[in-house]
Amino acid sequence: MLNSALRNFARVNYHGIRRAVRHAKNKFTDRAPKLIVLAYHRVLPETGDNLLNTAVSVKTFSKQIESISKNMKILPLSEAAAKSGGRLPGDGIIAALTFDDAYSDNYSVVFPLLKKKGISASFFVPTGYAGKDIPMWDYEVVERISRSGVERIEAGDYRQQRRVNESGLSFAFRVFNDLKSRDFHIIDEALTFLRRKTPGIGPGMGRCMSWEEIKELSEAGMEIGSHAVTHRSLARIPLPEAAGEIRRSKADIEEKTGAACLHFAFPFGSRLDYNSALVDEVRKAGYSTCILNIHGYNRADPGIFTFKRIIMEEHTDTRFILG
Ligand SMILES: [Zn+2]
């Protein structure tokens, strides 16, 4: 216990110091106007085990927003993106807030907080999960395997076996990474198998927002973006299927909210999860911005279409946001 606390302390400090150094370097060597897109997922009362590292506590979130809004202007993403071609206000840095995965805490926790502060953010919805009252498949797979000790998955033709000396958590992540590129019926079968094997695990995993909640966000001035339909790695599934998800999710959001869906965020969003053909599909579908999970800030540029982000975590120090 003490060992892991010490390791965590050392890790946080190592990353903190690296970040501070990079921040100072970027701040003083790059005077160009910048647009910072912050990436959040879930905001929860307590972050608990947080296996996918996608949760920030309410306390930390409030502190981070307080500090960021003191130091830079926070604009809605479409406004920030439109401004990035011209002169930026203040010291030339603007920020936009984004939330991926559309979990219900975005509605119950984040929305009231932002409303109180008069801040608009963008929420990226995996449309296949909106209003379904279930967590996303990846979250459920990792939770069910790592918390139950399941060592084997036999679902239809799909087979996975925990390796000798492989931890439950490593096995869970190996299955999760493998399923990202599978046909969705295989993911469904794997989940049915896991639900049967781990009946005690279930409550408390959360759910995505309902369409009523999403519409309420939209009507209150929040921007609703697309996070595809099935939350798989679009670069690893057939291109026509990925292109279909890019288009269908936009149409669904526009129909359900009555507002234009201008932003697309790739699920997972690393270099393995998108490519130039897919970015073209996003452009052709009529989106005005394409959001990645590549770490960094964006230099203001009139032609900018793809945006890097700063991934916000419990230990992110907002003083070093350019790091
Ligand atoms: Zn996501």
Do residues 300 and 223 share a domain? yes
Which of 197, 219, 241 marks a domain boundary?
A: 197
Q: What is the pLDDT of residue 302?
A: 80
Q: What is the DSSP letter of 47?
A: -
**Alpha-carbon Rg of the chain, whole angstroms?**
20
Do residues 89 and 215 share a domain? yes
Do residues 215 and 281 share a domain? yes
Tens of pLDDT, residue by residue over 243-254, are: 999 999 999 999
Do residues 48 and 192 share a domain? no
Residue-range definition of the domain harbouring residue 65: 31-132+208-320
Contact (Cβ atoms closer than 8 angstroms) between residue 103 and residue 209? yes
Tens of pLDDT, residue by residue over 268-312, are: 999 999 999 999 999 999 999 999 999 999 988 888 999 999 999
Q: Which residue has the tokens 């076996």?
A: 161
Stated pTM of the model: 0.92
Do residues 162 and 54 share a domain? no
Do residues 126 and 152 share a domain? no
Q: How remote is the CA of residue 319 from the centroid of ligand 1, in Å?
A: 26
Burial class (CB in 10 A: 0-12, 13-18, 19+), 86: exposed
Q: How remote is the CA of residue 82 from the centroid of ligand 1, in Å?
A: 24
Do residues 217 and 242 share a domain? yes
Q: How remote is the CA of residue 136 from the centroid of ligand 1, in Å?
A: 9
Do residues 222 and 144 share a domain? no
In the chain, the percentage of residues whose pLDDT exceeds 70 is 93
Q: How remote is the CA of residue 269 from the centroid of ligand 1, in Å?
A: 8
Tens of pLDDT, residue by residue over 152-173, are: 999 999 999 999 999 999 999 9
CATH code of 69's domain: 3.20.20.370
Q: How remote is the CA of residue 32 from the centroid of ligand 1, in Å?
A: 30
Q: How remote is the CA of residue 89 from the centroid of ligand 1, in Å?
A: 31
Tens of pLDDT, residue by residue over 132-152, are: 989 999 999 999 999 898 999
Name the domain count of the chain: 2
The answer to which of 8-17, 43-52, 95-104, 314-323 has the lowest mean pLDDT is 8-17
Do residues 46 and 113 share a domain? yes
Do residues 212 and 192 share a domain? no
Contact (Cβ atoms closer than 8 angstroms) between residue 95 and residue 38? yes
Phi, psi of 308 (to 5 degrees): -80, 165
Q: What is the DSSP letter of 224?
A: E
Tens of pLDDT, residue by residue over 54-76, are: 899 999 999 999 999 998 899 99
CB atoms within 10 A of CB 96: 29
Q: What is the pLDDT of residue 105?
A: 95
Q: How remote is the CA of residue 30 from the centroid of ligand 1, in Å?
A: 31
More confident residue, 84 or 95: 95
Q: Would 6 be classed as within a structural domain?
A: no
Q: Would 203 be classed as within a structural domain?
A: no
Do residues 297 and 259 share a domain? yes
